[in-house]
Amino acid sequence: MAKNRHTEGAGPSQRQLRVGELIRRTLSSVLARGDVHDPELNAMSITVGEVRTSPDLKIATVYVMPLGGGGREDAIQALKRNRGELRRLIMREMTLKFAPDLRFVIDVSFDRMDETRALFQREDVRRDIEGGDESGDGEPEGEA
């Protein structure tokens, strides 16, 4: 029985990673320049954190976060409303056979980084990381 590497949890291919990064950079540039004909979208400062493409490169999931983290839903709605124009602007600067369908979602990695940072600041966690062994013999207390 032949195995399909896409169903076994294999990561993205080098091509997917390369195209995703190219789309991310191009989309970031388009948004920074305000090339879209939507004053509401142009007034927002949006960070494009990552772009993941499907194996056939026809779908690009774009992970975004508005500056400061506020107005997330408004940013997603503005991006969705301008999806077609963004797609055309990206393809004008890239050399792909097909323009991928853009799907916008909030990038929660920023939230996870904040939660991780807060976790590392907790006294009990810092003690464990720094080797909170009070006896100094390298063995946890109570064991010898």
Ordered domains of the chain (ranges, CATH): 14-129 (3.30.300.20)
> pTM (2 decimals)?
0.70
pLDDT at 2: 47
Q: Is the pLDDT of residue 144 over 50?
A: no
User: Exposed e or buried b for every residue in 20-51, given b needs 16+ CB within 10 A?
Assistant: bebbbebbbebbeeeebeeeebbebebbbbeb
Q: Is the pLDDT of residue 104 over 70?
A: yes
Per-residue pLDDT tens digits for 22-72:
999 999 999 999 999 999 999 999 999 999 999 999 999 999 999 877 789
* Mean pLDDT, all residues of the chain: 83
